Amino acid sequence: MFCCLSRCCVAIVVAAAGTLATAQPVTLKSPDGQLAITLECVPDNPGVSGHLTYSVEFHGKPLITRSALQLELQGARPLGANVRVIKQTSTQVDETYRLVTGKASVVRNHYNALRVETEEPQDLRRQLVMEARAYDDAIAFRYVVPEQRSMRDFRLAKEKTEFRVVKDGTTYALVLPHFRTMYESEFLKLNASAFANANGLSRKTLIGLPMLMDVPGVGWLGITEADMRGYSAMYLANPGAGWGDHYFESLLAPGDDPEVIVTGSLPHHSSWRVLLVGDEPGKLIESNVITSLNPECAIPDTSWIHAGLTSWDWWSGSLGPDGKPAYTTETMKYYVDFAAKSGFPYMLIDAGWYAPNDITRMNGKVDIPEVVRYAAAKNVKVWIWLSYKLADAQMAEAFPLYESWGVAGLKIDFVERDDQKGIDFYYRAAEAAAQHHLMLDFHGATKPTGMDRTYPNVLGYEAVLGMEQSKVGMRDNPNHRTMLPFTRMLAGRMDYTPGGFENVTRDSFEPHSVHPEVTGTRAQQLAMYVVYEAPFQMVSDTPKAYEDQPAFEFIRHCPATWDETRVLNGRPGEYVTIVRRSGKTWFLGAMTNWDARDLEIPLRFLGPGRYLAEIYADADDAGQYPKNVAVRKQTVDNTKSLKLTIAAGGGYAVRFVPVEK
């Protein structure tokens, strides 16, 4: 398989250098004309220079009012605080490209672009360029500091990008304690003004991306970022001092030097600041803008990269065939046998196999080459677990060793940093792994930002409070699970680790580290395989949990990569229905929170002709006995509807197979 691209691009210079044009706002509209970003220099005093701002409109209504665009460079005045526009260039792009894995196989990348060059009117005449793109479902912009005689290099002390949302909308925000986390927490539903620093606190509340917002009377807004190479991750804080302040400002993850956050040569550009916009929150999930904002595929031959489901020893406690924990070579072969019998391409060996402080030596518990050899004979490939610090220190020796063993991929855990040095690790690891035909799954990680387009061997990111939390408490629950598609998943692929079959009610739940329970119904666990985007998708429970279980057939037949994705309905933290297509076969996943509900789903998304619908629904008594799944088949077509009755904490999963004429 190879990355391919078709492209149509037209560049039009709409204004050259000169004072006359500089006093006017510059507006860029989306191809459908419904989204617009305006860049302008707002004068503090009469004149043609001023501080650089942007604003956004949706359907002709203000969404973001004038918001500052400014870079504070070490030892210098803020860049963007006093500039004038000297040149504007418009570009129209309409192209298609292929993704090796993800929520769509072919993506249309259609946008209008604008490059605005600014310059300080006096002294050093430093230059700053803003690049903007307007899609039908998003606005994106980034800073570019070009080569210039007045600057030798790029030394950023602070980026001040404001997001002055027009109303005090409802946010769904990931509140984090500091900049060195694993992005594993709940998304809190609060008004934007709730985060204002109204009490004069010295420490601002830190919000990780993505952040979703419902702006009443205007639309839904998701704030995130894309193309992180050479930069530091953006967080948000509300710096307002008033009780009614409802705006946010960027904060970049600091590195080891607190005085300088990002360094580099010129020219240097920031990550894209991305504003996903839609009338309904599901439209934001459907967007492919995040990958479209990243460079094209950098791996010439991607034929060795494949999405797929995997068996996994860790979540259930490395239980062997006798039901007892045993982290051994024989136990791993047991999970390989399960993968082979189920038709899964992968088996993941988690932590515990290598020697202390050396990922090039085994510790005698599990013989990795032996498991790989055993798995290969059964057409199964093996992934192995690594810690970030040792992977960073030893990748030059370890990655070629793993290739010689025949390992297929690496789960790299506990990264816990996304400053410039941390972001650099992700790219170095992706490049080095690609050289040795290794796929990657990042855990304890930052959110994805689309680098999987450039390095499609990156199949997964965690950055989510996932099902592993059921081993210790109830933070993983149906309310949280129905929040994730509209929040965390806006950034991209999400390794939540579904598939728990020890399903219990909320009242009877007890956390267990070995053979853990999960709240909610078994049908909800099935639906996650459609709802959650994860090209490297875990089948988390022990093999015995799936023996002789009719519901397991849905997991066995569910793909991990898709040709098309549509969101049919939903509200954050309440419910969601998503359909995805693989070839001519469609899959549907619906989930609800702790409220039971009925949904009617028109089947207009199906192609022509008849389909056999293999339905896995909550049984009538699933609210009391959540393991119970009603399995049935019926013939449908795109003129019909399905009536879904979903239990509290429940789900609904369907496989639609075309009926041969």
Listed by start position, the domains of the chain span 5-292, 308-560
Q: How far apart are CA 449 and CA 225, in angstroms?
A: 6
DSSP letters, 237-287, are: E----STT---EEEEEPP-S-TT-SEEEPSSEE-PEEEEEEESSHHHHHH-
Q: Tell me what the mean pLDDT of segment 336-364 comes to.
A: 98
Q: How far apart are CA 339 and CA 374, in angstroms?
A: 12
Q: Tell me what the mean pLDDT of segment 549-578 comes to.
A: 98
Q: Which fold, 5-292?
A: Beta-galactosidase; Chain A, domain 5 (2.70.98)
Q: Which segments of 406-460 does DSSP mark as H helices, in order? A: 420-435, 451-454
Structure tokens at 599: 């949904």
Task: Identify the CA nearest to 456 among candidates 307, 654, 615, 264.
Answer: 307
Q: What tens digit of pLDDT does each residue of 413-462 get?
A: 999 999 999 999 999 999 999 999 999 999 999 999 999 999 999 999 99
Task: Identify the CA nearest to 281 among candidates 386, 172, 432.
Answer: 172
Which band of pLDDT confidence, cut at 50, 70 and 90, is reported for residue 88?
very high
Q: Which of 7-11, 18-22, 44-48, 455-459 comes out lowest in average pLDDT?
A: 18-22
> What percentage of the chain reaches a pLDDT higher than 90?
92
Largest CA distance in the chain: 81
Q: What tens digit of pLDDT does each residue of 537-549 get?
A: 999 999 999 999 9
Is residue 523 within 8 Å of 616, Cβ to Cβ? Answer: yes
Structure tokens at 349: 């060996």
Q: Count of CB atoms within 10 A of residue 536's CB? A: 27
Q: What tens digit of pLDDT does each residue of 173-194 get?
A: 999 999 999 999 999 999 999 9
Q: Tell me what the mean pLDDT of segment 16-43 comes to.
A: 80
Q: Count of CB atoms within 10 A of residue 402's CB? A: 26
pLDDT of residue 122: 83
In what side-by-side order are the strands of the sheet with 651-658? 564-571, 575-582, 585-592, 651-658, 611-618, 629-636
Which band of pLDDT confidence, cut at 50, 70 and 90, is reported for residue 16?
very low
CATH number for the domain whose boundaries are 308-560: 3.20.20.70
Q: How far apart are CA 443 and CA 462, in angstroms?
A: 5
pLDDT of residue 447: 98
pLDDT of residue 197: 74
pLDDT of residue 15: 38
| Single-letter code of the amino acid located at 557 | H
379-498-175 Cα angle (round to 5):
135
How far from 455 is each of 230, 272, 290, 496, 614, CA to CA, in Å? Answer: 15, 18, 14, 21, 35
Task: Identify the CA nearest to 309 among candidates 161, 495, 95, 170.
Answer: 495
Q: How far apart are CA 588 and CA 172, in angstroms?
A: 25
Structure tokens at 267: 């020219």
This prediction's pTM: 0.96
SS3 assignment, position 210: strand
Which band of pLDDT confidence, cut at 50, 70 and 90, is reported for residue 5?
low
Q: How far apart are CA 566 and CA 80, in angstroms?
A: 40
How far from 22 is each of 3, 336, 531, CA to CA, in Å? Answer: 41, 65, 48
Q: Tell me what the mean pLDDT of segment 561-584 comes to.
A: 98
Q: What tens digit of pLDDT does each residue of 250-308 get?
A: 999 999 998 999 999 999 999 999 999 999 999 999 999 999 999 999 999 999 999 99
Q: Which of 38-47, 117-126, 254-263, 491-500 comes out lowest in average pLDDT?
A: 38-47
pLDDT of residue 45: 64
Q: How far apart are CA 483 and CA 270, in angstroms?
A: 29
Q: Tell me what the mean pLDDT of segment 503-529 comes to.
A: 97
Is 199 a residue whose pLDDT tops 70?
A: no
Residue 193 DSSP label: G
Which band of pLDDT confidence, cut at 50, 70 and 90, is reported for residue 317?
very high
> What percentage of the chain reaches a pLDDT higher than 70?
95
Is 202 a residue whose pLDDT tops 60?
A: no
Task: Identify the CA nearest to 188 among candidates 468, 474, 479.
Answer: 479
Q: Tell me what the mean pLDDT of segment 148-172 comes to.
A: 96
pLDDT of residue 3: 54
Q: Tell me what the mean pLDDT of segment 98-116 comes to.
A: 98
Q: Tell me what the mean pLDDT of segment 305-313 comes to.
A: 98
Q: Tell me what the mean pLDDT of segment 380-406 comes to.
A: 98
pLDDT of residue 242: 77
Q: How far apart are CA 490 and CA 226, in angstroms?
A: 11
Helix 420-435 / helix 388-405 crossing angle, nearest 10 deg: 10
| Single-letter code of the amino acid located at 197 | N
pLDDT of residue 661: 73
Give the up-direction half-sphere exposure of residue 503: CA atoms within 13 A in the CB hemisphere: 28
Helix (H) or strand (E) holding 326: none
Average pLDDT along the chain? 94
Q: What tens digit of pLDDT does each residue of 43-52 get?
A: 876 666 789 9
